[in-house]
Every structure is written in C-alpha cells, then in structure tokens.
Amino acid sequence: MALPRFKAAACHLASVFGSARQTTDKTIGFMRKAAQNSAQLVVFPESSIPGFPYWSSIIAPATGHDFFRYMAEESVYVDGEEIKAIQQAALQSRIVISLGFSEKVRYSSATLFNSNLIIGDDGQILVHHRKLMPTFFEKLTWSPGDGHGLRVADTRLGKIGALICGENTNPLARYALMAQGEQVHISSWPAIWPTRLPLDGEPTPATGNYDNVNANTIRAAAHCFEAKCFGIQSAGVLDHASIQGIAQMTSDPRRTTKILSTYPQATTQFLDPNGHLIKSRIVWPSSDVQDEGLCLQNEEGVLIADIDLNKCVEGKQYHDVVGGYQRLDVFNLQVNRNRHEPVVFASGKKTEHDPPETASCSGSKSTKDSGGIAR
C-alpha cells in the first residue's frame, strides 16, 4: 500500500508583542489561510504564543525582572482558552497542527516551560512536549522539561515528530523519535539567536556571533538524512513592532532597537529525506500570485510544499539506523517518559483521626499533565 501524500504549511509568523490573545487570533488566521490552500499539516515556530524571550540575550539578568513578569502573565495553560481556540480551529479546518508556546502550569505562579503541541485534525492533543533543557539564556525564563513528550504522533498523514530548537542538536532525543518510525520531523526555532553583542559602529552582528541560519539547516538536514524523513523548519519573525515593544521596556530603547535589528532572521523551509531543500510556494501574504522559492526569512508568510512519504523508503535500504543498519545487541537507549510534578498525593484507608491526604515528594510517577490532561 502506498504511503500518504499531502501538502504541509510552515508558518513564518511574528508574535504580537504584549498579547497572547492577539497572537492566538493571528495564529488561527494563518491556520485558515493554510487550510484554504489545501494544507493538511500546519506548523508554527518555537514559543510562537506569546513570543520568544529575546531580551534575555542582550540585557543583564538583574534588569530583566519586568520581562519575566511579562512572560509569566502572557504564557498560556495547556488547558487554557488560547489552546482550546487553536484546538477548535484545527477541528473546523480538519488540519493537524504543531504549535510552539510558552506554557505556565497551575501549580505555580511562575514556573514556565518551552513547550510544543501536536494537535490532531479532530482537535485532540496528540503530543505535549516540554523542551528537555532550556538553551543558554533561555534558562532565565523556562524550566527543564521531561521525556513525556518524546513521542511521535501516528496520524492519517503519517508519523509526525517535533523537537524544539537546540533539542535538534541532541542525538539521543532525535534517535528516540527516529525509533518510533518518524516520517515527518518538525523543528521549531526563534527568529534570532544573539550570542555576542555588536561593538559600537559595527553594522553587522558581532564578530563570532552564532550563525543560526546555517546551524539550523545543518541540524535539520542531518536529521532528515539519518532518519530518511521529511523535515519542516518553522522559525519566528522578529518584526519592528516587537523590537519596539521590547526596547521600550529597557533602560536604553534606542540601543536595544539597534542591537536587535542587527541579527539575521532564521529561515522557514522544507527538506526531503536526503536533507535537500524542497521547492515550495508562498501562499500568503498574496494568495493570488503563488511565488515559488526555497524559504521565508525576513518577511512573514505561509510556505507550502508537497510531501510524499513514499520517498522515505529507498534510503532505508542503505541506512536504516533504527532497523537493518543498527546493532540492537550493542546499543540500548532507554527513555524515561514520566511527567514530573512537584508532588504526588497518595490516598489510603482513612480513620477519623487521619488528615484527608498524605503527600509524597516524589513527582516522577504521575500520569497527568500539570494542565489536567490525562495521558
């Protein structure tokens, strides 16, 4: 039996600074635009709702408290109204969604996770992943996640997996998805990745700054080649409005604007099972003229490409690294998928003198997400 063929959309989206609600509405608009152009899988960037904490890369931690408060206020619950609106829109358009968002939890007023959801075309959450380890300056905003979300969604379109940004550097995380038969790999990214501040008068990013454009493509292409799967890179856009919003919260808005404007924007693009870029179509902002190209970078848009999973087969004859080209008698990978919570309450036989519940401080055996969604 032939494998599925379908159209996928990668959304190169700028979050609405200051508003998770408005960003959610914008996200739904992009979903509908993609669905109108026959996309059945629609992918969004890292922390697309409410946006990525770029400020942590350029200001001192001691001056970032207002930004952290902002992220705590605008991050969303996995069972909150924003995610429910996305789920409903996925159901209405009959599309599968991959969504990056900053997640807050009900057991804390300020514990946040860098999370990603894969939502089925029935509106149900198929995979809820929290980034295993915040990268570099992300640790000022997000807590480490767990292995609960290292899962592949088995959909009518095929087996879809997703990792967030730097996780695509982790061979074990990537292998965990390969070993579940992953056929489409989603990698989500921020718009910019500052690692060095530019010197005064320097017109380009500081010498030696991390080359996020090249590094993202190398990692995504390597995974596609190793897994013999298709790849979808979806990066955010840092637009002028967001730069201005961030700048106004710093002590030197002019300098902040200048710094954030110097870094190259990441690309949104598709790759085939050999790691090569796929020619795709830009269907938004103009759906009348469907421009062909390889990527989106400096402007928002919706990029659509044709995915034919039958092309995942031939390469497996050469290098099936989870099957015929693997030594399972030599290597053994074990993944802990328990969702960590701060406390597990155990109920036993009560007497009239017992308190209503006893608490255990080991949170590794819980089978419920903090958002209340059972797994």
Confidence of residue 247 (pLDDT cuts 50, 70, 90): very high
- 254: in domain: yes
The per-residue pLDDT for range 314-361, each reduced to its tens digit, is 999 999 999 999 999 999 999 999 998 899 888 866 555 555 544 444
CA 209 to CA 264: how far, in whole Å? 10
49 pLDDT above the threshold of 80 = yes
Contact 172, 333 (CB under 8 A): yes
- 94: in domain: yes
Confidence of residue 203 (pLDDT cuts 50, 70, 90): low
Counting the structural domains of the chain, the total is 1
183 pLDDT above the threshold of 50 = yes
Written as six digits, the tokens of 238 are 């840092």
- 351: in domain: no
Q: What is the CATH number of the domain that holds 37?
A: 3.60.110.10
Written as six digits, the tokens of 259 are 């710094």
DSSP assignment letter at 330: T
What integer pLDDT is reported at residue 362 of this predicted model?
A: 42
41-50, 241-250, 285-294, 342-351: range with lowest mean pLDDT: 285-294
What integer pLDDT is reported at residue 352 of this predicted model?
A: 57
Q: Which of 207, 205, 53 is nearest to 137 (CA)?
A: 53
Question: To the nearest 5 percent, what fractions of the chain are helix, strand and coil?
Answer: 30, 25, 45
- 253: in domain: yes
Which domain range does residue 172 map to? Answer: 5-318
144-148, 165-169, 266-270, 290-294: range with lowest mean pLDDT: 290-294
- 348: in domain: no
H helix or E strand, kind and range, residue 254: helix 253-260
- 343: in domain: no
Confidence of residue 202 (pLDDT cuts 50, 70, 90): low
- 296: in domain: yes
146 pLDDT above the threshold of 80 = yes
Q: Model-level pTM?
A: 0.91
